[in-house]
Structures are given as C-alpha cells and as structure tokens.
C-alpha cells in the first residue's frame, strides 16, 4: 500500500519545496497541515496531484491529532515561528508552537503508530563558535536566541523521550533559493534585495561564518532520511562542508551579479558565528547538495530583472514586516 507523509507546516518556504519533491520524486501520498499564517498560494500547484495530495487547515497547538494521523506513516514537522525576530515579537507563541506543540504532535504520532518523526531544527543551535574548526553533530550547542532555545529544548525531548517511534532531528544550514513560498528575510536574500533596491549591501560582522544550503537541497535531505533511520534517534546536519561562507563572501557574490557597493560595518547585529561539518549525512547516505549561492543568486536576479519577483514579494514575503 502507498505510504503517507504528513507535512506539518507544508505551506511554508521549506514545506512547499518538500511537498514539490515528494510529489515529483517519490510515490508517497502527501497530507499537509498548516494554519496559513502567510497565505496558501504556495500550495495551489499541488492540488493537481488529486488523490495523492490533501490539505487540512489547522493549528498544531489545537488540532485533534486522531483523524489527522490516521493512515500516516511518516511525520515531518516544518511548522514553526521561524527566526529570532518573530520569536522575539511573540515569545509565548514561539514556545507554544516550536516546543510544546511539536512535542504534542510527536507524542500523538507515537501513539498513532507513526514509523518516524522528522523534526526541523537548525544549525543556529551551534550559536557562537570561537574556533575555525568544523562543528559536527556532537559539538556543543550554544543557543543565543529564544528561537534556537525552543529548538534545542525540542531536540532534547525528542532524542530522549521516544522509544517506540524513530526520531530524526535535522539541523538545517541557513536556507536560500526559490520555492513556491519564498522568504526575503534570510541572509543571502536580504543582500539580494538590498543590492537590487539600493545598489548597496551593508554587511554587519563581515568575517562571521555561516553555513548555507539551498531550499531544494533541504527538501532532498529530508527525503533522504525518510524511512532510512534504522538506529533509533539520530541527528544530522543538512548542508555541505564547502558551503560554509563568511558573510562578506556572500555579499561579494551578490554584488558581482547585481552590481552593488558593499559597506562593511564593525557593528555585529547578529552574533552567530559557526562553521559546520556535514560529513555525517554525506557518509551515511551519499547525500550531496546540487545548488550553490552563485547559481541561486543568478536565478533570483533573473526573476527580479524579468519582474517575476516584484516589490510585493520582496517586501511582504518576510516573517516580520519592517516598520516604516
């Protein structure tokens, strides 16, 4: 019988990239639950997959899991308040959604006989690293934001409290690239927006390291682990060793393609600095990434130049709108 994947948060940036890949590259049926915080346009193409795709509108804090989980083999949770700005603005909801509801869904999944629960965590958990060495999955976690704190606490519960159901924790690098919901509040995309609109990129903490990964490579990473976790609870970083960049290198890529001036300021607005090893997922599954920031910058620049991406997308596809 065809197996079913439930994607919690499937209308989001990573969620839509995942749903596209699941429908195109696998035989799974796909069920999406999302409360459509950022609208539902991103899901329109998937309804054409008829009986393989279904959508339920709901909030992971409140939804009755019984019907939702009936017939579900795998759960992927990419529903969250994502990034520090929105977590800072709504701290109570951030803990409720990113931590409490995540664990509630995992408990209900285990009771319903789900085979595997895949949790979307983040390399932001590594926080501040003083060393230039690559940090692997066993490295120290130093969450320096409420956002990362909710992720670290979720991980700890998922890795220790679930014995019957397989749990896979994926720590994604910072995403970039196009999907049917795009976000312009991510590092590379902010540089692209500023280069396009102001012909100037301001870089804070230019020498800080940040691992990067294309959203479609994240989707492929999630599919790689589905059904492949034979060892109980496991953690994998998702990205590639050769996509650890200093912020200034990313600014240079964007400036070269879009012709902008770069101003590097000593102020560090975001103190995160970490260089990550992605050997584990690559050695275990032969996983490798297919995109890089040069290709993605060129694609997004092309979409801006042809008007596919307009000001509405540039300024409204963000998790927290800037004042003024």
Ligand X SMILES: NC(=O)c1ccc[n+]([C@@H]2O[C@H](COP(=O)([O-])OP(=O)(O)OC[C@H]3O[C@@H](n4cnc5c(N)ncnc54)[C@H](O)[C@@H]3O)[C@@H](O)[C@H]2O)c1
Report the interface residues with ligand X, using CB under 6 A.
9, 11-15, 34-38, 59-61, 78-80, 82, 97, 120, 122, 172, 174-175, 181, 183, 186, 319
Closest-by-Cβ residue to ligand X is: 12
- Of residues 10 and 205, the one with the C-beta less far from ligand X: 10
Beta bridge partners of 33: 8, 56
| CB contact burial 60-78 (16+ within 10 A = b; e otherwise) | beebebeebbeebbbbbbb
Under 8 Å between Cβ of 151 and 124: yes
| Least CB distance to ligand X at residue 39 (A) | 8
- Of residues 78 and 169, the one with the C-beta less far from ligand X: 78
> What percentage of the chain's residues is helix, strand, coil (to nearest 5)?
45, 20, 35
Under 8 Å between Cβ of 32 and 11: yes
- Of residues 59 and 190, the one with the C-beta less far from ligand X: 59
- Of residues 183 and 220, the one with the C-beta less far from ligand X: 183
| Least CB distance to ligand X at residue 113 (A) | 22
Q: How far is CA 162 from CA 12, 108, 143, in A?
A: 27, 11, 23
HSE-CB at 188 with a 13 A cutoff on CA atoms is 33
Under 8 Å between Cβ of 263 and 201: yes
Under 8 Å between Cβ of 214 and 175: yes
The string of DSSP codes covering 108-128 is HHHHTT-SEEEEEEEGGGG-B
| Least CB distance to ligand X at residue 290 (A) | 17
| Least CB distance to ligand X at residue 193 (A) | 15
For the chain, the residue count is 324
The string of DSSP codes covering 211-240 is EEEEHHHHHHHHHHHTTT--SSSEEEEES-
- Of residues 9 and 205, the one with the C-beta less far from ligand X: 9
- Of residues 61 and 246, the one with the C-beta less far from ligand X: 61
- Of residues 6 and 253, the one with the C-beta less far from ligand X: 6
| Least CB distance to ligand X at residue 139 (A) | 16
| Least CB distance to ligand X at residue 119 (A) | 8
Q: Which of 61, 166, 75, 162 is nearest to 120 (CA)?
A: 75
SS3 call for 171: strand
- Of residues 3 and 35, the one with the C-beta less far from ligand X: 35
């Amino acid at each position: 019988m065809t197996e079913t994947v439930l994607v919690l948060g499937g209308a989001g940036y990573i969620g839509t990239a995942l749903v596209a890949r699941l429908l195109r590259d696998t035989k799974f049926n796909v069920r999406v639950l999302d409360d459509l915080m950022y609208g539902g346009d991103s899901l329109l193409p998937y309804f054409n997959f008829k009986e393989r795709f279904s959508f339920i509108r709901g909030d992971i804090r409140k939804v009755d899991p019984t019907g939702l989980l009936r017939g579900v083999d795998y759960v992927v949770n990419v529903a969250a308040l994502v990034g520090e700005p929105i977590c800072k603005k709504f701290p109570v909801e951030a803990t409720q959604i990113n931590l409490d509801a995540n664990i509630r869904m995992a408990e209900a999944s285990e009771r319903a006989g789900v085979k595997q629960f895949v949790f979307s965590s983040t390399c932001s958990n590594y926080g501040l690293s003083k060393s230039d060495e690559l940090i692997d999955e066993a490295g120290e976690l130093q969450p320096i934001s409420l956002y990362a704190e909710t992720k670290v606490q979720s991980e700890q519960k998922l890795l220790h409290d679930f014995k019957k159901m397989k749990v896979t924790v994926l720590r994604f690098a910072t995403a970039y690239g196009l999907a049917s919901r795009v976000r312009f509040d991510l590092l590379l995309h902010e540089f692209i927006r500023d280069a396009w609109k102001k012909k100037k990129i301001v870089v804070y903490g230019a020498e800080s390291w940040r691992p990067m990964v294309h959203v479609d490579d994240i989707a492929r990473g999630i599919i790689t682990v589905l059904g492949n976790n034979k060892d109980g609870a496991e953690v994998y970083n998702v990205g590639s060793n050769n996509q650890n960049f200093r912020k200034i290198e990313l600014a240079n890529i964007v400036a070269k393609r879009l012709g902008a001036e770069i101003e590097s300021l000593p102020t560090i607005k975001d103190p995160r600095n970490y260089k990550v090893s992605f050997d584990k997922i690559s050695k275990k599954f032969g996983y490798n990434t297919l995109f890089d920031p040069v290709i993605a910058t060129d694609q997004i620049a092309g979409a801006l130049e042809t008007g596919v991406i307009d000001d509405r997308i540039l300024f409204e596809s963000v998790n927290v709108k800037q004042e003024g």
